[in-house]
Structure 1
Amino acid sequence: MMENQPAYGQEDEIDLVALTFTLLRKYRQILAAALACAIIFGAAAGARTAWGGAVSQDAQKAYESELAEYNRKKESYEAAKQQYSLDIANNEKSQRDTEYAIQNAQEYAENSVWNNLDPYNVRVAQADLYVTTNYQIQPGMAYQNPDRTDSVLSAYASLLGNSSTLSEVAQQFNMQERYLRELVTISSDPDTHLLAITVMSSSEQTSSNILTALLEQVNAMNANITASVGSHTISVIAQSSYSTVSTDLRDAQTENSQNLLSLQTQIDQLQQSRTRLDSNFEDTTKEWESTEEPVLQSTRISSAVLKFGLIGLLAGIVLVCGVGTVQFLVQGKVYSGKELRDTCRLPLLGTLASGKTRQSKQLDAALDRMEHRPDGSTDAEMIRLMAATIASRAPEAKHILITGDLPADQLTALAAALQDTGALRAQVVTAAESILTCAATVPQVTSADAIVLAADCTCSHYTAVNDQNEQIQRLGKNILGCIVFE
C-alpha cells in the first residue's frame, strides 16, 4: 500500500505549536537558569562597580555642587507650584465673581423698565400733594404745642418709598420692586409742605396707572399716620402728565452698556490669564521632570546590580529556550500521535496516556489539557476502540503482533489489554521488542497476520519508527497502524 511506504527525501517542517509547548514544559529549567544567571550577572556587576574603590575628592565636590543645584531647582519648582495653585484659585474666584456680575448686568439690561426707556421720549406722570395740620400759634402763651406738619410729611415720604409699599404696587404691574423703584421719585419740601410723586414710563397710560396706585397707597396710610403722628389733612393740589428728554437716563444707559462690555472683556482676559498660567506651569513641570538627581559612583552599585540582574534573567531564559529548541530539532522525538501520523505516513489507531502524563500535576497537567493529551481516564475505552479498529481492518488475522521501541513490560501489558477485549479475544495477540534491536522479533514479524507498531513520546524517535517500518516492509509485511503513548 502506498500509504505505508517510507517517506524519503521530504523536507522537515518545524511545528511551532509543538516547539512552544516543549519549551513551556521546561519552565522549571527556565526559572532555575534565569535565577542563576540573574544572581551571577548581578553579583558580577556589583563587584565591578565596587572595584572602582572610594569616590575621589574631585568627584565628591562635583557631586556636592550638582546636589546643591538640584536642591535649588527643587525648591524653585515647589515655590512655583505653590504660587501656581494660589494664582489658579484667585483666577477662578475672579472668573466666578465676574461671571456673576455679567449675569446680573444682563438680567438688569433685559428686565429693567427704566433702562429700556427711550431717553428722548420719557412719559412722566406727576402729582403734588399738600399736607397741613392746621397748626396755629397761640398768642400770649409761653408754651406752644409742637408743629407736627414736617413729621407728617416725612412719614408719607418714608412710607411711600418703603419696600413693602413699592412691592405691593409692583405686583399690580407684574414687575419687581427694584425696577419700580427706578421709575418712582418721592420728594418733600418742609418749607412748602408739599409732597411730590413723579413716575416715569414708556407710555402715558402706564405712568398714570402707577401714579394712581401710589395715590391709593397715600389714602391707605392716612389713618395709620394720623394715629401715629397726628391729625392732618393731605390733598392733591396738582396732577399732570407730559413727555420729556432725560439726559441722565441716556448717560446711565450708556454707562450700563459700557459696564457690560467691560465685564465681558474682563472675563476674556481672565481666561487668557488662566491659559498662560497653565502653559507656564506645564513648561516648569517639564523642566523639573527632566532634571535628574545627582548620585555618587558608589551609590550606583544597586542600579547596576538591578540592571545586570534583569539582563541575566533574560539571558537565562534565552539560554534554556535556545538549548531546548536545538534539542527539539536534533533529537527528533515523537511528539504526539498526530505528528507521528503526519511525519511517518502511518495510520494512527489511537493514543494512550504515558506513565509521565499520568503523573503530571498542576502546571504540567494544565499543559497536557491544553494539548488535549490523554490523562488515562479514557484509556480503557480507547483500548476497546483500538481493538475494534484492528478487528475491522484485519478481520481474517489470527495472529496480531505488537512491536516497537518500548520497554518489554510496556509492550506485554499493551498486548494483554488488547487481548482481553471482546473484539480480539478470539485472536492471538503477542508482543515483541523492536525489530531494530531484537533478532527474535524477525520470525514473529514474518509469522504474524497483522502488525501494530507502538511508540512512546518519552523515548521513541521518528527515525526509529521509519527504520522499523522499513525493516518490516522488507520482510513483506505492512504495519496495520500505530498506537502512541503521549
Structure 2
Amino acid sequence: MDYNTDEQEIDLKDLMFAVFHKWRPLILVAVICGLLLGGIKGIMTYKKQSDPKVRKEADLTYSADLELYEKNKDTYTREIENLRTDIENQQEYLDHSIWINMSPYDVCEARVDLYVSTGYEIMPGMAYQNRDYTDTILQAYQSMLTSSAVMEDVAKQVGTEPRYLQELVTVTIGTIGVDKNQFSRLLTINVNHTSKEKAKTVLDAFLAYVADMQAQITASIGEHTVSTVNEGISSKVDLDLADLQRQQSQKLTDLNDSLQTKQKDLDELEEPEKEDSSKVAALKSAIKFGLVGGFGGAFIVAFVVCIVFLMGDKVYSAKELKERYKVKILGKLSSGKKVGIVDAWLNRLEGRTCNADETAEYRLIAANVKNYAGDMKKLLITGSAPADTLMRVAEALKSELGEIQTVVGNCMLEDVETVRELPLCDGVILVEQCETSKDSAIETEIEKIHDLKKSVVGCVVIE
C-alpha cells in the first residue's frame, strides 16, 4: 500500500473549525458556568459586605489609608516644588555667575596690599603698655569692605549682582615681622575676573571706599595711616575653580534626578478606593466571576472537542481522505442537511460544499471517473456512507457514465453481495460521508480492494 496510518499530522485548521462548529454547546456551557459562578460569588460577596463588623473595619482601614495617602501626597508635592525652585536658582547661578563661567586656566587677578600704621611703639621697661588698636582697625576695614552695602554699591558700578561680586573679592588681614615679633599690619584686597581690565576696575572701586572709610574709622577707633605697599595685576591657573565648576554642574544634574524620582513617586502614588456598597460590590463580583466562569466553560467545551477530534475515528474532511489514503477525490456533494446562518458561514470559510447544483456536481464527478477509469468497463460503487446515500449517488452517476457499467453495493464490510461483486468489477468508486464514515472502516475497505488487485478509481465525499 502507498499510504501510512502510523503517523498522522494534525491539521490545525480542521481542528479550529471543528471547535467553531460546536458553537452552540460552547455558548450554552459558557453561559451556564458564568451564571453559576457569578451568581454564587455575587451572593457570597453580598452577605459578606452586609456584615456590620466587616463594614466598620473596612471604613477604618479606608480612613487610615486615605490619611496616609494625603500625607505622602503633600510631602511629595512640597518636595517637588522645593526641588523646582532649587533647580531654577541653580540654573540661574550657572548662567550668570562670573566665577563659575570663568576659565580656570586664565584667571585674571588684581591685588593690592595696604599697610596700616597707628604709630604704636612698645615702651621698654614699662610694666604697662599703651593699647594697640591696629588689629581692631584692620578688622573694621575688612568688615566694612565686605559689607552688603559696599558690595551692592560696587556691584552697581561694575554691572553685576552682589552675590556674584562676593565670589570675586576677598579681603584678608596679613602680618608683617619676623619670628615672634609678628604684627597684623597688612590689609590685602584680591579681585579675580575674566580680564585684567575688569579686575582693575573692581579693585579701584574698593580702593575708593578705603579713603572714605579712613576718616570714619579714625573718629571711631583711633588715628592711623594707610599706605600702599604693593599693587599688581596678573593671570593664574586655579584648579580649585575647575573642581568647583564640576561640582556645581553635578549639583544641577543631581537636582534634576531627584525631581524625576519624586515626580515618579508622586505619579505612582495611588489613592485608596473606598469599598462599594454591598449591592455594587456583589454586582461587580458577579460580573467578574461570571466572565471567568464563562471563559472557563468555553475552554472546557473546546478542550473536549479537541480531544474527541484527536482521538475520534471518523472522517472530518475530503482533504483528510486524500492525504491519508492517497485516493483521488472525484467530487464533493452536500449532505442535504439544513444549516443555520452561522453554520453556513463557517462552511463557506472552511471551503465545504454548500447546497451547490447537484446536477453539475454529478457531471463533474462522472467526467473525473471517465478520466481516471481508463479502459475499465465495470465499476462497483460502495463505501461506508449510509445505504440511501450510496443508492442516490449510484443512480445519479449511472446516466452520466454511459458505456461504463455501474453496480451499487452496500458497505463491503457488512454486505455479502457487495463482497461477491468486488472480484467481478474492474474498479471501485468509494462513497464516504464526513463525520459518519470511520477511518478504520475506510482503511479496511481499501485493503480488501488492493488484496484483490483492484483499483480505487476515486472517492465521492459527502460533506
Q: Please indicate the TM-score interval, normalised by the length of the shorter structure.
A: 0.5 to 0.7
Against the structure 1 CA distance between its residues 418 and 22, is the aligned structure 2 distance closer, same or farther, given a 3 Å change threshold?
same
- Rounded Cα–Cα distance in structure 2 between residues aligned with 1:377 and 1:95: 83
1:306, distance to aligned residue in structure 2 (A): 3.9
Query: Aligned letter for 1:454?
Result: V
How far did 1:452 drift?
0.5
Q: Cα distance 1:378–1:183, how it changes in 2: closer, same or farther (>3 A)?
A: farther
| Residues 1:39 and 2:39 aligned together | no
Partner residue in 2 for 1:193: none
Using the alignment, how far apart are the partners of 2:301 and 2:83 within structure 1?
A: 58
Alignment CA distance shift 1:80-1:353 (3 Å): farther
CA offset digits 1:210-265 (Å, max 9, x no partner): xxxxxxxxxxxxxxxxxxxxxxxxxxxxxxxxxx9744x45xx7899988875654
Q: Paired residue for 1:400, among 379, 390, 403? A: 379
- Shift of the 317–117 alpha-carbon distance from structure 1 to 2, 3 Å rule, reads same
Q: CA deviation at 1:74?
A: 1.9
Counterpart CA distance in 1 for 2:238 and 2:88 is: 23
Change (3 A) 1:63 1:181: closer
Deviation at 1:321, TM superposition (A): 1.8
Match of 2:67 in 1: 72
Are residue 455 (structure 1) and residue 451 (structure 2) matched? no
Distance change in 2, residues 1:292/1:82 (3 Å):
closer
Q: Which SS does the other structure have where 2:403 is aligned? A: coil
The separation in 2 between residues aligned to 1:179 and 1:351, in whole angstroms, is 105
Q: Name the aligned partner's letter for residue 339 of structure 1.
A: E
- Alpha-carbon deviation of 1:457? 0.9
| Residue 347 of structure 1: how far off its partner (Å) | 2.3
Corresponding residue for residue 275 of structure 1: 257
Which deviates further from its counterpart, 412-421 or 451-460? 412-421
Q: Aligned equivalents of 1:295 and 1:184: distance in 2?
A: 73
Q: Is the 2:327–2:459 contact (alpha carbons within 8 Å) kept by the matching residues of 1? A: yes
1:30-55 deviations in whole A, cap 9, x for unaligned?
23322221111100111233344731
Structure 1 counterpart of 2:308, from 316, 324, 327: 327
The residue number in structure 2 matching 1:348 is 328
The aligned counterpart of 1:425 is 402
Check whether the contact 1:412–1:430 (CA below 8 A) recurs between aligned residues.
Answer: no
| 1:366-422 Cα deviation digits (max 9, x unpaired) | 6754x555667798887666545543554332232322343556445544654565x
Specify the code of the residue in structure 1 equivalent to 2:27.
Answer: L
The whole-number CA distance in structure 2 between the counterparts of 1:364 and 1:105 is 85
Aligned residue type for 2:82: D
Name which of 286, 289, 292 aligns with 1:305.
286
Matching residue within 88, 91, 94 for 2:86: 91
Counterparts in 2 of 1:467 and 1:265: CA distance versus 1, 3 Å? closer
CA RMSD of aligned residues (A): 4.9
Q: Give unpaired runs (5+ residues) of structure 1.
A: 121-160, 162-177, 188-243
Deviation, structure 1 residue 307: 4.2
In the alignment, the residues of structure 1 paired with residue 447 and residue 245 of structure 2 have an alpha-carbon distance, to the nearest angstrom, of: 101
Partner of 1:216: none
Paired with 2:89 and 2:336, the residues of 1 have a C-alpha distance of: 78
* TM-score using structure 1 length: 0.56
Q: Give the counterpart letter for 1:395 in structure 2.
A: G
- In structure 2, the CA distance between the partners of 1:109 and 1:476, relative to structure 1 (3 Å rule), is closer
1:419–1:425 Cα contact (<8 Å) kept: yes
Give unmatched runs, 5+ long, in structure 2.
113-156, 158-194, 205-228
- 5 Å matches for 1:361-400? 365=345, 369=349, 373=352, 387=366, 389-400=368-379
Whether the aligned pair in 2 keeps the contact of 1:42 and 1:304 (CA below 8 Å) is yes
Aligned residue number for residue 314 of structure 1: 295
* Distance in 1 of aligned mates of 2:300 and 2:243: 76
- In structure 1, the partner of 2:217 is none
Q: Percent identity?
A: 21
- Given that residues 337 and 350 in structure 1 are in contact (C-alpha distance below 8 angstroms), is that contact kept between their aligned partners in structure 2? no
Please state how far the C-alpha of 1:21 moved relative to its aligned partner: 3.1
Q: Distance in 2 between matches of 1:442 and 1:336?
A: 27
> For 2:244 and 2:455, how far apart are their aligned partners in 1?
104
Equivalent pair of 1:400/1:450 in contact (CA under 8 Å): yes
Other structure's SS at 2:329 match:
strand
For residue 397 of structure 1, what is the amino acid of its counterpart?
Answer: M
Q: Deviations over 1:299-347 (max 9, x none)?
A: 653453244323312321232123323433564221123423454x462
Check conservation: 1:60, 1:296, Cα contact below 8 A: no
Residue 347 of structure 2 contacts residue 353 of structure 2 at CA under 8 Å; is this kept in 1? no
**Deviation of residue 451 (structure 1)?**
1.8
Structure 2 counterpart of 1:336: 317
Q: Per-residue displacement from partner, 1:92-151 (whole Å, max 9, x unpaired)?
A: 32243123125x6677769x9xx758989xxxxxxxxxxxxxxxxxxxxxxxxxxxxxxx
Aligned length: 356
TM-score normalised by the chain length of structure 2: 0.59
Q: Conserved in 2, the CA contact under 8 Å of 1:338 and 1:348?
A: no
Q: Distance in 2 between the 1:283 and 1:52 partners?
A: 35
**Residues in 1 aligned to 2:360 and 2:399: alpha-carbon distance in whole angstroms:** 12
Specify whether residues 96 and 418 from structure 1 end up closer, same or farther in structure 2 by C-alpha distance, changes over 3 A only: farther
CA distance in 2, matches of 1:184, 1:59: 80
Residue of structure 1 in register with 2:50 after alignment = 54
